[in-house]
Structure 1
Amino acid sequence: MSTIELIVNPRGKPIRKLPKELTVSTNAPASDIYNTLAQKTGYSVHRLRITKGSDGSVLLNGSETIESSGLRGQSVVYVKDLGPQLGWRFVYVIEYLGPLVIPPLFLYVLRPYLYFNFDKLPEPSSPQQLVCALLFVHFLKREFETIFIHRFSLATMPARNIFKNCAHYWALAGLNIAYWVFRPDSPAATNELNPILYYGGLFLFSFGELANFNAHLVLRNLRRPGTTERGIPKGFGFGLVTCPNYMFEIIAWIGIYLLTGLSWSVLLFLVVGTLQMWDWAKKKERRYRKEFGDKYKRKRFTLLPPIF
């Protein structure tokens, strides 16, 4: 068993107790470097990012051996402190908690206080109550998938990002939609919603939610528990676009948009969310092409044919 000595430098701000040199076995997994440096600095392995000085690429915290990673004797590695971290699962639970509880609060509990300026405050209409129930079902499903279905490729994210992530869901999907859709003068404040909007919206929402759940099950089964390995996804929708889970998410929200009588507040959330998912889908398509090469059937549309 041969050993090599690595030169260790901090990237960015200094890291307390970071060693200047590190002796490792060439046959050891790269994760040994993360574990050793975490032990010496007292930081979690998830808080450290190690890059190779030779090309600046990230040294993955996985089972690849140190020799196969390209590191040699006197190779320089840089260690960056990513700052305090939070688990992805925890972040997702907090993100979806806002839009889960805000709609029923606004429609039933806070209604007299939010719309006090109306001379006569009518009872919530049937479409408003239906939209409230569907929003609750949608985000309850999200919470269930977060806790029991999703397997994350990264364990943590920078703690500061939770404020940005929560702002999107709590403000746009929670406060924005609930306040405007449940107003007594909103398009949904009628018990005689256009049948095309009503039945079309119900169909799109139901189809989108079920198909989205199926896509998440497909993605879950690509990764064994406790690993970050990925496979090529196959199944309903995956032959059409890169990310059918995003496509079905959009379809479900179009259903809610119809059921609200074409509320601009839902449209705003739908447009912002679609643009964000389009960006994620394009990156995933590039990653699939790079990772799987000719084994992967390239997609013309990443999100929503024939637009994205």
Structure 2
Amino acid sequence: MDTKNTIKIETTINAPVKNVWKLWNDPNHIIQWNTASNDWHTTHSEVDLRVGGKFSSTMAAKDGSMSFDFNGEYTTVSEPKLIEQLLGDGRKVRVEFIAQNDQTKVVETFEAESTNSLEMQRAGWQAILDNFKKHAERLNTYEQLNFTITINAPMKKVWDTMLGIETYKKWTSAAWPGSYYEGEWKEGETLFFFGPDKSGIKARLVEHRPYVYTKAEHIACLDKGKEDTQSEIAKVWIGSTESYAFTEKDGHTTLDVTMHVTSGWADMFKKDWPKAMNKLKEICE
């Protein structure tokens, strides 16, 4: 790598190296952290983690104004210590994962491109690395759950059925009888998800793009209608997230549900979400 035109960035993450390695290379996680600013996101990621394997991430403006693919090939893979890549434009990238007891130092070195200033490139790559640090440290206490189903119905119908105030009660009844919500599905708004005794979760919609994607952050527990942010169970839930992504092809819709939960709740959701999604499929079809 030509040191004259290289940039080095780094961060230290409060998570063991085996966890950091997994989160760095898992497409389900890459789409969660791979962004330099709040008005951009990664819509799709593919990883073939082996020497000669390809990788690709589609990065896009949230307003749909532009997008591009960041892609290339792996030239070195030494788990869990080192990755070297050759980008599609011929530049080289080196990522080191340095174990430091229960922490991990991540050092990225990359060849600069000629269009943008070195400082702009450094700031952009560092912002993405900082996002990764936040994601990894949050998930050091959470487990990410992913559920997927394909429904023989248009995306708009699946969206409207899943989030409609009355149809929501129907599909959730397969796993969580008596569930309902109050509030408006709109970015920045607050939603209240209740069970029969008015216990449940208060959430804020941190991202919402109608018929495509919605993501909520849990901000409080509800105990028989009363807001709870101080109990031990509330502290576990606050900050965790839940997202729904919808994609359509040939009249079929794929629904991807992603949750971040503590391990104590994971088994319940692994059992219940498939029931709820199958009910949603039945209603839509």
Specify the TM-score bucket, using the shorter chain as the normaliser: under 0.3
What is the TM-score of this pair, normalised by structure 2? 0.23
Relative to its length, the structure with more helix (as a share) is 1
**Larger CA Rg, structure 1 vs 2:** 1
What is the TM-score of this pair, normalised by structure 1? 0.22
Relative to its length, the structure with more strand (as a share) is 2
